[in-house]
Chains A and B, each alone.
Chain A
């Protein structure tokens, strides 16, 4: 007959070989490996100051016959610390869910029991199949000022612990982040980005319980965010983007009237529209392109090298006056 034995980390453990006398000749094994006699006191196995590595299957055999006399599965662990409990309504006004976890592992099986009281009324929190550490509860009343009290008790073979949360209906309302965030450049607008998103699919009735949104954006090269709060609609046009710079954009949601902001959505990246680089027509450009160098010159998107109206001269020697100044200055350097 096999047993399971639970012991605390740091404890001293004494294992008896079943009904064998203290002075019987026995052999102990741990996970199939013989244990040195120095750990024996008579037929008792003594394990001092056990740690997690001591967990395993221990077997005791009668000395001469090698009959198995006793077997136990030793599990070394800890009693549960105060669990971490969180309750939230991401599907208001349908209901809310509570989820929990232990701050540190116990290395042994734990069972959780949750109770929910609304005023004097006990409510049932239906456990979710997945994930296991979560349950949900349907609101029976709305707009109540009476607080909910949720108590979570965790028990394992070494002890128990609990935590309690008290909150009102509005305080725990927190939608999921907006979904399907898309950011696109606006053609012919080097400083605009069009952002659109959708209500989180978990929010059951956005028409009756509309969400408002918070949009934040910044160029990748800067740390400071710009923020915009939007009371309706699921799109916004950024009009002050730096030309040519890649942006990172996120959106958060909140019920229009109650609760707290969602986490930020998945970040999206976009770069405003930029003009295609124009071909240059100055003599310097022609010289450069006919040299052995393979470097290419790309005009910055927001600047033009030559406007037609700024051309001086004619035919093959036509240059724009700004480029002419550059050439002249360059020439002076090499005289």
Chain B
């Protein structure tokens, strides 16, 4: 049964959503600029269709309008956590490949990584507000026999994956803005955000 949201919680949620929308908007603008620079400097084709790359979260979703608020937050959080790891990996590869030759690209990557981390934290705040448990990150648990590390990609494969990462991240940033706008809407029945008052 849906519980009514307190006025202070509603205000806090709307505030978090508004700030999140601004964060995501700025992040998207920076990612688009970074993608343009990345494609140019890596000698890639900007218009080429890049196949889905394993491990890169796809922004594409069916029945987006039917998602609950919790689903939106959880999917966003999982995506940005994955992007955080992927961008860190890209940064590391960039430093190995080019050293100081491409410091500008490295700095831009680092700046986007920072924004992605900040946005992930922002999503965790929203989930805490809804009294939802924050799901643990993958790889936190120690296992005796963990999965083998993925095979090292060739330089060209790394570049293509980097393009896929940035392209999907740009899409996610737009999707996140839309998701947060949905979350910011008050529910007519309970006053809570649509779908957020539902039990998992």
Tell me the A residues contacting B by CB distance below 8 Å. Answer: 93, 140-147, 170, 207-210, 257-258
B155 an interface residue at 8 Å Cβ cutoff?
Answer: no
Please classify how large the interface on chain B is, using the bins under 10, 10 to 19, 20 to 34, 35 or more.
Answer: 20 to 34
B59 interface neighbour in A93, A143, A258, Cβ under 8 Å: A143
Question: Does A142 contact B49, Cβ atoms closer than 8 Å?
Answer: no
A141 interface neighbour in B28, B62, B167, B181, Cβ under 8 Å: B62
List B contacts of A209 (CB < 8 A).
178
Minimal beta-carbon separation of B14 from chain A (angstroms): 14
| B49 (CB) vs chain A CBs: closest residue | A147
Of B28, B172, B181, chain A has the most CB atoms within 10 Å of the CB of: B181
| A to B CB contacts below 8 Å, 21 in the list | A93-B64, A141-B60, A141-B62, A142-B60, A142-B64, A142-B175, A143-B59, A143-B61, A145-B50, A145-B59, A145-B60, A145-B168, A145-B171, A146-B60, A147-B49, A170-B174, A207-B185, A208-B178, A209-B178, A257-B177, A258-B174
Tell me the B residues contacting A by CB distance below 8 Å. Answer: 25, 28, 49-50, 58-62, 64-65, 167-168, 171-172, 174-175, 177-178, 181-182, 185
Nearest 8 Cβ contacts at the A-B interface: A144-B60, A143-B59, A143-B175, A142-B64, A141-B60, A143-B171, A141-B62, A145-B167
Docked pose: A210 CA to B60 CA in angstroms: 20
Docked pose: A191 CA to B38 CA in angstroms: 49
Given A208-B182, A257-B25, CB of A141 within 8 Å of CB of B61: yes
| A208 (CB) vs chain B CBs: closest residue | B181
Question: Does B62 contact A257, Cβ atoms closer than 8 Å?
Answer: no
9 further A-B contacts with Cβ under 8 Å, apart from A143-B59, A257-B174, are A93-B64, A141-B61, A142-B64, A143-B175, A144-B171, A147-B49, A170-B174, A257-B28, A257-B177
Minimal beta-carbon separation of A89 from chain B (angstroms): 14
Question: Does B50 contact A143, Cβ atoms closer than 8 Å?
Answer: no
Docked pose: A58 CA to B46 CA in angstroms: 58
List A contacts of B185 (CB < 8 A).
207-208
| A147 (CB) vs chain B CBs: closest residue | B49
List A contacts of B65 (CB < 8 A).
93
Question: Does A142 contact B182, Cβ atoms closer than 8 Å?
Answer: no
Docked pose: A258 CA to B65 CA in angstroms: 18
Docked pose: A33 CA to B196 CA in angstroms: 81
Docked pose: A142 CA to B58 CA in angstroms: 11
Docked pose: A170 CA to B28 CA in angstroms: 14
List B contacts of A207 (CB < 8 A).
181, 185
Minimal beta-carbon separation of B62 from chain A (angstroms): 5
Question: Does A144 contact B181, Cβ atoms closer than 8 Å?
Answer: no
A140 interface neighbour in B28, B58, B62, B178, Cβ under 8 Å: B62
Of A145, A146, A208, A210, chain B has the most CB atoms within 10 Å of the CB of: A145
